[in-house]
Amino acid sequence: MQLQTAPVIPVVAVEASTAIQCSHPVHGVPAVVCFVFRRAMASLEEFRTYRSPLKDFYEGKSVLLTGGSGFLGKLLIEKLIKCNVAEILLILRRKKGLSPSERLEQLLGKEAVFVNYAKDPQLYLSKIRLIEGDISEVGVGISNDDLAYVWEYTNVIIHAAADVRFDESLKESIQTNVRGTLEMLTIAEKCPKLEIFTYISTAFSHCVRREIEEKFYEPPVDPMLMIKVSEKQEDADDFEVLSKKIIEPWPNTYAFTKSLSEEIVRRYKHKLPIAIIRPSIITTTRDDPIPGWTDNLYGFNGVVCGAASGVLRIFHIHMDYKASIVPADTVINSTLAVSWYSAGHRDEDNVYNCTTDDNPVSWQETQNRLEKWKDRIPFEKSLWITTYNTTHYKLVADVLSIIYHVLPALLFDSILVVRRKKPQVLKLYRKVHRFSAVLRFFTNNEWCFRTGRMRRVLDAMSAKDQQFFPCDAKAIQWDDFLDHQIQGLRQYLMGDSWSTLEKSLRRHRLRTIIHWCMLAVLYGGLLYVIVTILQAYGLFGFEGLHEHGVEECPEEQRAI
């Protein structure tokens, strides 16, 4: 990879519609005004003023939401508040010694995605009613009083909770993803005012197929049987030993249990108004409510952060394949649009693929765009400069991971030991290799996701709805999105303040010089060893030039 050395202008994030004067020249560029990457989204007042069937569907409704503390859940809370719902019945469990109310307070105050919380906390607190519960427990762990309230008032259920870890045990995945979905459907059955139950699945729930249509598929095994087996404590160890065999040919317990959960939902089709939405690889937000926001390192976000921080230097991926990534706000707006549409079309098979097949981008194209930023906004929290390499050969990736990951990790840890600090880089790379391993299946295969049914929903939306609930994949400008993504990852996920940018750039330039000097020494030394070995075997030398130099020149040429 060639490093970008041309002068660039960094982007500095401040509040929307403002600008600041850069205090120092960067890369020889004079001080300039740097505008933020935050786009102007509709204000709360603008959003609530407009009228449409989609927006009016949610106004005044009681929405039961699971997974509200997760990535998609946070975005759903923000959007539903804008929609002026009557209340969000938020199922939240105790965690790490914090009560649900303490967790909610911490959540709202911490995340930038709650754009109006700082100036108007009551806007959120007045709309959110906490329901203490745990999706992995029988009955979701909800008290009788809370259940009675849910049954009486719920109009919409959005089941977003899931255990998204690819390497989770099969038992835990079944109890959270499959049994948890069954429990939510059982609750939904007793809600007389229910208009729609929407389940957020994944486009890879049936990834064993190369073409995935918007329809129900036969599950690999009876989900009710798997629930019963997972609950037998005496067989727990044997169950986990056999788990790899059970889930074959699915690549992980997450995708496997999602396929079972979809079957659970299908069995309630004639009892309840249901919808399933299947997003592909979810990344940062495009611009709703702010660009580039995320709160996790899963999937594509982790690859980008790993490469940008100089940690991930070799990755097993087929660069020509389609990158099935989708902005998080596209998923949220699609979910709300699908729920509205499905409530009015109950007799249809309301299964929708939320992907970008209508506007594809390849892994190579994403890398080419993101690399343009590696010398502009280096991460403050980084191990080294970006030296990201790829191959679609597994053996090559495994060998190069030793050269690019393990050996440098040993060097860094040795330096830490000398400085009497705890070695930790090799431990970091063990996590990186586990992360890379679980993604291999998705970065070295390609799928065709049919989106005709999702297109029907988009066609049913008014022009205003398209503006306030943007979810058309065709409208995504990939270069623009990827620019916001890398900036958002630096700010929101890595927590790097923009005030550290000048410092990061200076360190980045120094590391770049050291990097190339080290390569020069390394390759120079390697060349010396090769020449020495060839000379030892008489396969290379300069002796011939000395032996047949002047002596062999003809007499007349010597005279000249």
pTM of the model: 0.88
Q: How far is residue 360 from each of residues 188, 304, 373, 448, 480, measured CA to CA in Å?
A: 37, 18, 22, 11, 14
Q: Compute CA 289 distance to the chain's CA centroid, rounded to the nearest angstrom.
A: 17
Query: Over the range 114-139, which residues count as b (16 or more CB within 10 Å of their CB) and which as e?
Result: bbebeeeeeebeebbbbbbbbbbeee
What DSSP string describes 482-513?
Answer: HHHHHHHIIIIIS---GGGHHHHHHHHHHHHH
**For residues 433 and 413, what is the distance between their CA atoms, to the nearest angstrom?**
17
Residue 129, SS3 per DSSP: strand
**For residues 3 and 501, what is the distance between their CA atoms, to the nearest angstrom?**
18
> Residue 273, Cβ neighbours under 10 Å: how many?
22
> pLDDT 10s per residue in the chain (560 long)?
333 333 333 333 333 333 333 433 433 333 333 434 445 577 888 888 888 899 999 999 999 999 999 999 999 999 999 999 999 999 999 999 999 999 999 999 999 999 999 999 999 999 999 999 999 999 999 999 999 999 999 999 999 999 998 888 999 999 999 999 999 999 999 999 999 999 999 999 999 999 999 999 999 999 999 999 988 866 777 788 888 899 999 999 999 999 999 999 999 999 999 999 999 999 999 999 999 999 999 999 999 999 999 999 999 999 999 999 999 999 999 999 999 999 999 999 999 999 999 999 999 999 999 999 999 999 999 999 999 999 999 999 999 999 999 999 999 999 999 999 999 999 999 999 999 999 999 999 999 999 999 999 999 999 999 999 999 999 999 999 999 999 999 999 999 999 999 999 999 999 999 999 999 999 999 999 999 998 888 887 655 555 555 555 555 555 54
Pairing of strands 33-35, 128-132: unpaired
> Residue 363, Cβ neighbours under 10 Å: how many?
23
Handedness of CA 382, 384, 386, 388 (dihedral sign): negative
Residue 391, SS3 per DSSP: strand
